Structure 1
Amino acid sequence: MIRTITLAVFLCIVSLVPTKADETITVKLDNDTHKQQIIELSCCNIFLDMKDDVNGIIRIHLDLENRQENKEILLFNNGYGEKSLKKMRPAAIVYDKYFGGTKKRRVIEPCRGLGSDFRIAPSDRENIMMLTGYETVMTCRLPIYIAEYKPRSFFRRQRYTLMEKLVVELNIEVTLKPDSTYWQLHDEYTALIGELEHTVFCTNKRHTPSLEEQKAAYRQKIETCLARIDRELTRHHWPRTDARYKLHMELQDKLKQIDLTAREGDCGQHKATHRCRYCNLSLRQIYHRLDDHYQTIYSSTDRQTTKEKLIREVRALYFCAIDRHRQAEWRANDYKAKIIDRYNRINRF
């Protein structure tokens, strides 16, 4: 007797353990141009609709449409036993005689995420659940039961007969792309860097406007971009793991690393000649220093980080060289083309 009871309990537990899916489907969604996806199966269509996320929470509405003409689709939010199914109202639910499993010991596999049981008539479409979470990879397992409906007769009340079970497993990969505000900020940063590449903040006391006034407009642009990034982070409340949060933080770090002092020098429009810490170097020595920096960045395992550490001196060396352009030394020197080449190569990293 004890062995019989133990076996019955074991069979019930086994029937509740999810089996291998009949269909495993990978779906790729994003919050830009691919928010929706339709999955066509023999018995039904599955509709996925990704809504605008709030505070970094991904929300995907899942609808199921019955494509069959004379069979119904049933999904359950509880693991009902056979006795419970027969007592269902308004219609009893029974297994077809050819349905797999041990009679009287079969247990329904529940569908996680349902708020209630669903019975979808032929050609009907129902919103059955909403998937939510912070993860960019989400899974959803749909145990779909195909049933025949038999109306009430004189001898028997209405019932659904479970004919077969189809398990669909969805692997949903979500890419969260930044919105247009981010790309505006990114473009402004790129334009600012482009301007600074060709700008020298003149340190000569005779220069008008003053050094601080020359830098003021650029400082204002940097501070405005930083303030807009702060507003975006505050408005969206993205978690630190969100790709959009990371992109905004990376852009913020780049803006903070802009060093206006590295662009200081003499504009050459005053009687005083250009002077900086590298003026005692020949153009040959400047080239070799630039080449050393180029080789260091090229052989580095993290070129971007290495470049950021060296770029200030690279620019200072380069502008020291080109500020001699009025001198015969720069115009006729064999190292002019080499210096320009190395500087451009470093900037392309």
Structure 2
Amino acid sequence: MIRKFILLLCCVLFTGSVAWADQEVLVKLDRQGHETQTVDLGYAAVTFHFTTVYNNQAQVEVSVENLTPSQTVLLFNSTQDEKMLKKRKPKVLFEKTYGGEKGHRFVSGCRNVKNIFERIEPAETRELFVFEGSVSEPSELLIPFYIAKYVPRGFLRSAKYRILREDNIKFILEIDGWSELDPTYVGVKRTISDFKARLKNVKFCGNKMHKPSLVDQQRPYQAIKDSMILVIDSIFKSNPWMSQDLPHQAYTRLKQEIESVNLDEYVSDCGKHKRVHRCGYCSLSTEQIYHRLDDTYQRLHTGRITKDEAVKTARALHNCYHQNRRRGRDSFYSGKINDYYERIINF
């Protein structure tokens, strides 16, 4: 009973990843060209591939390649004693030279391994699991590797694996999950900065006479603005970030920055368009304007209207004659129009 309790205690300790590591290996990953790192253990190559960040946890794919010519690399997802190992198909035994008391030996497990029992044959590469590591502090991953030889089925015997040795490796992962040095982020930010700098030298003419119209002038710039917003939205869709994640917050600030660009702030008048004159006298010909001024003067002279009324009418007729470019000029009446205008003003 005491012996069973001691064995159970050992199983719990090893399952809790407090097994002693034979060696520690530092793995550094980031999104600036160091997304993948491979560790050569001699008998196996362990590859870590940093894929994305979710809720400030880095997702790292872990795969193992068997580098031996004839041996098998075994991994387990939990601690298993000899009795349990013998039930595997094919069954797993310990080599006679393996340390420990026969019948009371066990293998340690890595809880991240997806299956109860993983075997990687010579020259085979297998993706084992996705490890979630912190981006704020180093993460530890303990993987017990077991190097075994395969004994094929023979006369009156079943196929089996015989474990030759154990190698506990503690991987210490330092993951720079995301920073504003991320190439995609740098590219989007630079594009927005260049766009805003370009706008400083742009003036849209708001005069209704200007060709092309204000809408057409602003259209290519609005298209650039809209496309940058779409790019940021597509980045959000392709990454499972939470709102509290650093990249989500950074891209949100960029989106707010580009959305705040108001193209109407760059509208002015180019000064190349004179205002078109329009009044109630524009339909009159030069001769008719002359006769209107003549009539106004006669009415003023005979006291039928006041001087203020006459001056108001005279100025309107005089301005229309000189400002309406669509009316043809007549030199015969031009002098007479100016003459009557002066008479009324100075009456």
TM-score (norm 1): 0.56
Asked whether 1:75 is paired with 2:75, we answer yes
Q: Which residue of 2 aligns with 1:190?
A: 193
Match of 2:230 among 228, 237, 254: 228
Give the distance between the partners of 2:10 and 2:188, measured in 1 at CA: 61
Q: Which residue of 2 aligns with 1:113?
A: 113
CA RMSD of aligned residues (A): 4.7
Contact (CA 8 Å) 2:11, 2:108: kept in 1 or not?
no
In the superposition, relative to structure 1, how do residues 185 and 131 fare at CA in structure 2: closer, same or farther (>3 Å)? same
Deviations 1:257-295 (A, max 9, x none): 335676677879899xxxxxxxxxxxxxxxxxxxxxxxx
Q: Where in structure 1 are there 5+ consecutive unaligned residues?
A: 272-349
Question: Which residue pairs with 1:332 in the alignment?
Answer: none
Change (3 A) 1:256 1:215: farther
- What is residue 291 of structure 1 aligned with on the other side? none
User: Within 2, Cα distance between the matches of 1:6 and 1:57?
Assistant: 37
1:73-119 CA-partner distances (Å, limit 9, x unpaired): 2112342112222343334412544425x553333212222224123
The range that moved more, 153-162 or 19-28, is 153-162
- SS of 1:21 mapped into structure 2: coil
Q: Is the 8 A contact 1:152 1:158 kept in 2?
A: yes
Give the CA deviation at 1:120.
Answer: 2.9
Q: Specify the alignment match of 2:129 in structure 1.
A: 130
8 Å CA contact 1:238, 1:244 repeated in 2: no
Corresponding residue SS for 2:89: coil
Among 230, 237, 240, the residue aligned to 1:238? 240
| Aligned residue number for residue 255 of structure 1 | 258
**In structure 1, what is the Cα distance between the partners aligned to 2:11 and 2:52?**
41
From the superposition, tell whether residues 103 and 114 of structure 1 become closer, same or farther in structure 2 (CA, over 3 Å).
Answer: same
Match of residue 316 from structure 2: none
Conserved in 1, the CA contact under 8 Å of 2:53 and 2:177?
A: no
TM-score, scaled to structure 2: 0.56
| 8 Å Cα contact 1:99-1:163 kept in structure 2 | no
Deviation at 1:39, TM superposition (A): 1.7
Whether 1:21 aligns to 2:24 is no
Q: Rg: which structure is higher?
A: 2
Cα distance 1:13–1:251, how it changes in 2: closer, same or farther (>3 A)? Answer: closer
Whichever residue aligns with residue 238 of structure 2, its letter is H
- Structure 1 letter corresponding to 2:62: L
**Mapping for residues 1-349 of structure 1, pairs under 5 Å:** 6-18=5-17, 19-29=19-29, 33-49=33-49, 60-94=60-94, 96-100=96-100, 103-111=102-110, 112-121=112-121, 123-131=122-130, 140-151=141-152, 158-170=159-171, 171=173, 173=175, 175=177, 185-199=188-202, 216-217=218-219, 220-221=222-223, 223-225=225-227, 227-229=229-231, 231-233=233-235, 235-236=237-238, 238-239=240-241, 240-258=243-261
> In 2 relative to 1, CA 86–214 (structure 1 residues): closer, same or farther, beyond 3 Å?
closer
Q: SS at the partner of 1:37?
A: strand
User: What is the CA–CA distance in structure 2 between the aligned matches of 1:165 and 1:183, rounded to whole Å?
Assistant: 46
Identity %: 20
The offset of 1:126, in angstroms, is: 3.2
Alignment partners' CA distance in 2, 1:166 and 1:81: 17
How many residues are paired up?
Answer: 265
1:190 maps to a residue whose letter is: S
